[in-house]
Amino acid sequence: MRSQQKTNRCRKKNGFHQKPLRIPPDFGTYAERHGLFEMYKRLIESLLINKPQDPLDHLTEVLKRENDDVPSVIIHGPPAAGKTSIARMVCAKLRTAYISQDTLLADDVSPLAAKAKEYIAKNEKVPTELWVDMVKTRLQLFDCIKKGWVMDGFPQSREQALALQEVGISPKHYVVLDAPDSVLIERQMGKRIDPETGGVYHTTFDYPSNAEVERRLVEPPEGCSEESMVDRLVVYHRHTQGLQSCYDKLYKAVNADQPTADVFSQVMTFLSSRQRTLAPHNPRIVLLGPTGSGKSVQAALLASKYNIVSVSSGQLVHEAIANESKIGEAIKPYVDREMLVPDNLILKILDERLSQLDCATRGWVLRGFPPTREQAENLQNEGHEPNRVFFLDVPNDSVYERLTLRSLDAVTGDRYHALYNPPRTTDIKDRSAQQPTDAEDAIRQRLSNYYAFAEEIADFYEDAQHINADQDPHTVFECVESMLVNPLPKRAQVE
């Protein structure tokens, strides 16, 4: 016994067990905000692909010109699927460079383009290596580096796709416009081209309203006959599976047999998505919503499935008081008088809890806090920046129905609901009673407090996701879970 006491005194003297291990929260936040893991991965890939003589100089140049946020898109599909129209619309929307085989060949100053034209003039196939060199040279220009690029209809085969990957050219999104062959043949037979602007029109579905444009229209160089279209479709279908296998994780098929506006909308929705990262990810989740929206239930489900720490500011306050800590003694007078605990005390106990080893290594879900913009700013200034914020939206009528019909068994502590989970026996019903906090006046006051600051807190958390919580808890959990495991869409690409 004395030996154990002596050991404890020595450990206390040397700083052991005085406080839980505190992990600075800004370490992980900084790395995630600036994409350090992805940056390191891209630099290593660049070294392995380019094999420079001086790796350090090469990395310095890559970092100087790197801009990984720009779009890099390939839009593919069978003939007459509308690739060119959608690609040009995407370029106009995202303000990126437009690249196609025609634009590559139209470069009058490029010796590579001149060489490719020689093959075409001889009715010979342009070598894959030459196409790849032309694409690589084009992507090294300033507009592609700074603005990004959209490639229309290239590569056309698995061989060309692999050759692009070998030199480090790979898109972030690969879109395939698909439609039945019968629809494509009908489209091609009515297809017309404006030779001055490159605009694509159709004699039935999209005829120009301008008479001057109408006079300029000509048939496409590949012809409009059904026989030539069938031959082109056969070639396309021969290569489509091989191409898809090269871009399987980036692939999205869009039905092109619908209005152009709908096709474009679906393409843009896909382009606003992000690829999954291989970087270590610790969830830092904030659940907000009115009283009775199910924040505690969702926090418990998340903590159970993903082994993250469920944190409640109210529970931490009661624990601090029960432990008779210094901060608990400072908080106790406010709780005894039923007064609001000052923000600085709440933030202090939250900072201590969220900086502990389990929260730093496993992640955390914080429910019901922060309720105001000021508290959200203070929480972020302490380094605890959430990477997911969910608003659980519930109509007030549903809140009253959920809470006013609840009762508590004074013997067992079990909760019951008159509609969804009524007491199983008469004895339980007789001894169960409504809690004062579930009275209508108390609920009305809590709802008023929440909505007084709801708009400003929503403005602060711009990337927050709103979820309809007026449904089964497990259905709500599926919505939360889908947004948790998948990257959030890019707001900049969706208006």
CATH number at residue 190: 3.40.50.300
CA angle 27, 33, 38 (to 5 degrees): 95
> Under DSSP, is residue 184 helix (H, G, I), strand (E, B) or coil?
helix
Domain count, the chain: 2
CA angle 29, 32, 38 (to 5 degrees): 160
Q: For residue 374, is it within any domain?
A: yes
Name the residue among 162, 175, 154, 149 with its Cα closest to residue 101. 154
Q: For residue 82, is it within any domain?
A: yes
Instruction: Let me know whether 257 and 309 are in one domain.
Output: no
Q: For residue 59, is it within any domain?
A: no
Instruction: Let me know whether 264 and 317 are in one domain.
Output: no
**What is the predicted pLDDT for the residue at 36?**
83
Phi and psi torsions of 100, nearest 5°: -150, 175
Q: For residue 242, is it within any domain?
A: yes
Greatest pairwise CA separation for the chain in angstroms: 104
The distance from CA 351 to its chain's CA centroid, rounded to whole angstroms, is: 27
Domain with 429 in it: 284-493
For residues 188 and 77, what is the distance between their CA atoms, to the nearest angstrom? 14
Instruction: Let me know whether 245 and 297 are in one domain.
Output: no
Instruction: Let me know whether 383 and 235 are in one domain.
Output: no
Residues belonging to the chain? 495
For residues 430 and 442, what is the distance between their CA atoms, to the nearest angstrom? 23
CB distance 194 to 216 below 8 Å: yes
**What is the predicted pLDDT for the residue at 1?**
44
**What is the predicted pLDDT for the residue at 68?**
65
Among 226, 248, 271, residue at a domain's last position: 271
Strand partners, 452: none
Among 271, 304, 321, residue at a domain's last position: 271
pTM for the complete prediction? Answer: 0.69
The distance from CA 492 to its chain's CA centroid, rounded to whole angstroms, is: 12
**What is the predicted pLDDT for the residue at 43?**
86
**What is the predicted pLDDT for the residue at 9?**
52
- Which segments within 48-195 are labelled E, that is strand? 72-76, 97-100, 149-152, 173-178, 191-193
Contacts of 276 (CB under 8 A, 6+ apart): 486, 487
For residues 264 and 91, what is the distance between their CA atoms, to the nearest angstrom? 11
Instruction: Let me know whether 351 and 238 are in one domain.
Output: no
Instruction: Let me know whether 397 and 462 are in one domain.
Output: yes
Name the residue among 239, 196, 236, 238 with its Cα closest to residue 215. 196
Q: For residue 276, is it within any domain?
A: no
> Under DSSP, is residue 20 helix (H, G, I), strand (E, B) or coil?
coil
**What is the predicted pLDDT for the residue at 67?**
64
Among 236, 271, 306, residue at a domain's last position: 271
CB distance 122 to 213 below 8 Å: no
What is the full per-residue pLDDT of the chain (495 aa) written as tens digits?
445 445 455 544 444 445 556 667 777 778 777 788 888 888 888 888 888 899 888 888 878 776 667 899 999 999 989 899 899 999 999 999 999 999 999 988 889 999 999 999 999 999 999 999 999 999 989 889 889 999 999 999 999 999 999 988 989 999 999 999 988 888 777 777 777 777 777 766 677 777 887 778 777 766 667 788 888 899 999 999 999 999 988 889 999 999 889 999 999 999 988 777 777 778 999 999 999 999 999 999 999 999 999 999 889 988 889 988 888 889 989 888 888 888 889 999 999 899 888 888 899 999 989 999 999 999 998 889 998 999 999 999 999 998 998 888 888 888 888 888 888 888 888 888 888 888 899 999 999 999 999 999 999 998 899 999 999 999 999 999 988 887 777 664 444
Instruction: Let me know whether 264 and 288 are in one domain.
Output: no
Instruction: Let me know whether 459 and 347 are in one domain.
Output: yes
Contacts of 205 (CB under 8 A, 6+ apart): 187, 190
**What is the predicted pLDDT for the residue at 410?**
83
Instruction: Let me know whether 309 and 233 are in one domain.
Output: no
Instruction: Let me know whether 142 and 208 are in one domain.
Output: yes
Instruction: Let me know whether 333 and 433 are in one domain.
Output: yes
Instruction: Let me know whether 140 and 192 are in one domain.
Output: yes
Taking the alpha carbons at both ends of the chain, their separation in whole angstroms is 70
* HSE value, Cβ hemisphere, 13 Å, CA-based, for 151: 25
